[in-house]
Amino acid sequence: MDCIFCKIVKGEIPSKKVLENEKFLAFYDINPIAPIHVLIIPKEHYEKFNDTPNELFSEMAAFIKEVAKALNITDYRLITNNGSNAGQEIFHLHIHLVSNPSGKLKWPKLT
């Protein structure tokens, strides 16, 4: 059974896309925590950060920079959770890009 992000990649579930290429997809989070909240995922399924090949991240970093440029932002935070105890809820690697163009992002208390 495919995870929800794999279904988004296949077009089975709609998303509001920001940017896409052959390896990655960026789309708006449906439950944003900031004025701009985009999820960036590899199209290939990897459960979490630790399962992802190292070489994928140089390409992903370049894609993230393209996403920020498409959003016309220079100040942003990148977040990824690795495992359920770290807060990962969907087990398909994803990076949250969050930004507040009109002010400073706050850092939530982590407990």
- The residues annotated as belonging to the active site are 94
Element (H, E) at 28: strand 24-28
Task: Give the rounded distance of the alpha carbon of 83 from its chain centre.
Answer: 15
Q: If 0-12 CB within 10 Å is exposed, 13-18 middle and 19+ buried, where does residue 95 land?
A: buried
Pairwise CA distance, residues 55 & 17, whole Å = 25
* Residues β-bridged to residue 17: 27
